[in-house]
Amino acid sequence: MTDTDSKRFDGDEWDLASSVGATATMVAAARAIASRQPDPLIDDPYAAPLVRAVGVDFFVKLVDGTLPLDPEGAGAGTLLAEVMAVRTRFFDDFFLDSTRAGVRQAVILASGLDSRAYRLPWPAGTTVFEIDQPAVLGAKSAAMADLGATPTADRRAVSVDLRDDWPAALEAAGFDATAPTAWSAEGLLVYLPPEAQDRLFDEITAVSAPGSRLATEYHPDGGAALGGRAGALADQWRAHGFDVNIADLAYGGERTPVVDYLTAKGWRVSARPRPDVFADYGRQFPDSEALEALRNSLSVIATLEGEDS
């Protein structure tokens, strides 16, 4: 793969080793590292095997511990693992809190190598829909089958691009728009053009029953600072054989603030800066230039107002 393969264009596609798909493998590698840290916040036993199944040498070496990490080079991996541990736990708790409120339908948008359908203790009768590109879901489903993994919920893979009519594909997979749903858009918004971000929330709202919940993240700068730092890291990571420039994958442009947009759509919204979420879990946000762009990002939870909310 060359660096130019990571640049975005209308109708682009990817697998778990290219373009946006490679970020899913990167995040899974971070979850694997986080899972073996002392006093871990998360335990994802599938993260490392899934990364090995994808086979990107750089990430395999990271999860196997055979790649020496320096704080500002490849090993912003260690710092990334700290961020992903907190982010993963935040979304884990969101789903579990939703089930305790009686929600029995979950949708994971751009699911990548997410293993929640296999590792969370879903209540009986819960259906988890995973939406992503066909090559991504196909590879993950095959890898999980090879591992002998069994979902802990009724997992339904919905192979569709979020730029296409994904609500119709979701309905065809058995989604019930009359039942409350827990939605996650984790690590997703910066990879959508600004207008596509608004459209995604429009589409979610249109098929959500009162009492539905949504968890996402919002970068006030539209991910520009994050993309700039990622570009610097890409130069260092390239020396280790990973040629996807993550900075090329995020879309710039002015965005509607997520809190404002969802509130206008009838959602009751709460948002917390990332360092506060770290503190909630007894962690301190890393004092690192590599992660400074994430300091002002918000962790967002919204509930759709209505008689059942």
Report the largest interatomic distance among the alpha carbons of the chain, rounded to a whole angstrom: 56
Contact (CB, 8 A) for 298 and 218: yes
Q: What pLDDT is recorded for position 249?
A: 72
Is pLDDT of 102 > 50? yes
Question: Distance between CA 88 and CA 187 in Å, rounded?
Answer: 10
Question: Amino acid identity of 78?
Answer: T
Q: Which domains does the chain possess?
A: 15-304 (3.40.50.150)
The model's pLDDT over 248-298, given as tens digits with 9 standing for 90+, comes to: 676 677 889 999 999 999 999 999 999 999 999 999 998 877 677 778 889
3-class secondary structure, 101: coil
Instruction: Give the residue among 188, 181, 215 at the shortest CA–CA distance from 309.
Output: 181
Is pLDDT of 240 > 80? no
Is pLDDT of 226 > 70? no
Q: Find the helix packing angle between 19-35 and 134-147, rounded to 10°.
A: 30
Question: Distance between CA 309 and CA 101 in Å, rounded?
Answer: 10
Mean pLDDT confidence for 192-221:
93
Question: Distance between CA 171 and CA 174 in Å, rounded?
Answer: 5
Q: Which comes out higher in pLDDT, residue 179 or 236?
A: 179
Instruction: Give the residue among 139, 81, 132, 130 at the shortest CA–CA distance from 105.
Output: 130
3-state secondary structure 189-224: HHHCCHHHHHHHHHHHHHCCCCCCEEEEEECCCCCH
The structure's pTM equals 0.90
In what helix (H) or strand (E) does residue 154 lie, and over which residues does it extend?
strand 154-159
Mean pLDDT confidence for 167-186:
98
The token pair at 13 is 């596609």
